[in-house]
Amino acid sequence: MTITSPHLGSSADSWTDARLLYALEEVVEQELNRHLKVAKDWMPHEYVPFSDARNFPGIFEDGEAWEKGQSPVTDIGRIALVVNLLTEDNLPSYHHEIASLFGRDGAWGTWVHRWTAEEGRHGIVMRDYLLASRAVDPDQLEQFRMAHMSEGFESDNRHSMLHSVAYVAFQELATRISHRNTGHQSGDPVCDRMLSRIATDENLHMVFYRNLLKAAFELAPDLTMQAVRDVVVNFRMPGHGMPGFERAAAQMAIGEVYNMRIHHDDVLQPVLRFLKVLEIDGLGPEGLKAQEELGFFMGGLDAEASKFDEKLAARKARMAARGA
């Protein structure tokens, strides 16, 4: 089957990844041009307190060993900063994934390279900050980086262009929220400003993919609904394979950097509401089934998040009582 002009009436069977990439090319170009107009270049070195830096042991005779008390960063801030940086460190693998899926030509290719360049700044500024401010053990950080990158990365959604677009629409917002909350919990205004700058970039990336997802709903509503359902139900952050991720994620949840309530309220709901995903009508049987399952899942997640909220509130009360 061939189609010369993709349109709303196209059957689900006609939408291969190649046809969807072609059909969305114009939207990608429009979103790329919009992004380039609103995105602001910034210099990583402007956010790093280099005047606080001093030598670590090594080739320098005056090297000073790292100690936890050398930085004002809180324990939860330190944990989240390491998780966030290790996530950014896997950029080569992310670039390979999306370049292989979206291609390196035309508007798609231009976006892939621009996105990679912007994301690269995030890893640069975070590592420079952590080392200059002595916020983390540099030896352990490097050991974690080597272990994490040596494992590589394979996206859960590499089998489908629509699934990949849906995933990054949510994941970019999740990353923005994680960076923003890490800054708020870090205890260091310099760190907070740096992560706020990074969060601004991540939000623009989210807008790009969210708007692309909106166009996909207009072209292939049933397939896009199924992709969104699958991604939301099975969502996990790209850094899930890093050393000690589960323990760090639990600590970040308790520290209110990222948990079920934040995931539901600040990541999933904003994208779903903007796209009016649960209000779309005219779906076929499979699309309608996916929409209903998505609604049920969101209701269940909200209930689970409420249980977590209660446990967190009880924990805070116990900690306050002990402090008193």
204's CB contacts (< 8 A; 6+ apart) are: 35, 38, 39
User: What's the 3-state SS for 232-284?
Assistant: HHCCCCCCCCCCCHHHHHHHHHHCCCCCHHHHHHHHHHHHHHHHCHHHCCCCC
Q: Report the interhelical angle of 221-233 vs 161-185 (nearest 10°).
A: 40
Annotation: binding site for Fe cation: 88, 119, 122, 172, 202, 205
Q: How far is Cα 11 from Cα 298, in angstroms, rounded to an integer?
A: 28
Q: Is 80:252 a contact under the CB 8 Å cutoff?
A: yes
Annotation: binding site: 88, 119, 122, 172, 202, 205
21: nearest Cα among 226, 200, 162, 177: 162
Q: How far is Cα 289 from Cα 285, in angstroms, rounded to an integer?
A: 6
Radius of gyration of the chain (CA): 21
What the block records as the tokens of 88 is: 């950014």
DSSP 8-state assignment for residue 47? G
Q: Report the interhelical angle of 106-132 vs 189-219 (nearest 10°).
A: 160
CB atoms within 10 A of CB 114: 16
Q: Is 135:182 a contact under the CB 8 Å cutoff?
A: no
What the block records as the tokens of 241 is: 């394979």
Instruction: Write the single-letter amino acid at 133.
Output: S
Instruction: Write the single-letter amino acid at 55.
Output: N
294: nearest Cα among 306, 280, 274: 280
